Amino acid sequence: MEPYSLPTELILTHPRQSLGNLDLDWTPQPGNYLDVAGKTYAVLERRHRYQYKAGRYRLHKIALYVQSAQRPTEKSFVKGRWVIGDARCRFNAHSELIRCAVNPEGPCDRCRSFESAEC
């Protein structure tokens, strides 16, 4: 294990099963995508596991709850973060996980419900 790597357990949310353990050199946030063994997963939730040792708690490992996903081709940069889809649309959820309620699968450029958001 490298000094800056984090022991991480990957857990598929549906059906609930462990996909195994790996060491990551970065801390995935919900909304990030992760490629493991040729498959892409969206990170839904991150939980820290601590261990009490020598009178103090230390980070033992991280559990990532993921689901199978395809990387979105459309992204917009809004207020310092990337969101899925065209953020100029009034129906865009401004989320890393879901595009919108009208057309969640996308794409935005051919959506009949596209309405420009008023700033």
Q: Say yes or no: 78 and 44 in one domain.
A: no
Q: Say yes or no: 60 and 84 in one domain.
A: no
**What does the pLDDT read at residue 86?**
85
- Of 68, 84, 109, the residue at which a domain comes to its end is 68
Q: How many domains does the chain have?
A: 2
What range does the domain containing 55 cover?
6-68
Rounded CA separation 15/108 (Å): 30
Q: Say yes or no: 12 and 43 in one domain.
A: yes
Rounded CA separation 119/115 (Å): 12
- Taking alpha carbons only, the member of 59, 60, 67, 61 closest to residue 19 is 67
Per-residue pLDDT band for 1 (boundaries 50, 70, 90) equals very low
**What does the pLDDT read at residue 119?**
52
Whether 1 is in a domain gets the answer no
Rounded CA separation 112/46 (Å): 35
Q: Say yes or no: 60 and 86 in one domain.
A: no
Can you give the pTM of this predicted structure? 0.69
- Tens of pLDDT, residue by residue over 32-86, are 888 898 899 999 999 999 999 999 999 889 999 999 988 777 888 888 778 888 8
Task: Report the share of the chain in percent with pLDDT over 90.
Answer: 34
SS3 99: coil
Non-local CB neighbours of 40 within 8 Å, separated by 6+ positions: 33, 34, 68, 69, 70, 71
Q: Say yes or no: 32 and 53 in one domain.
A: yes
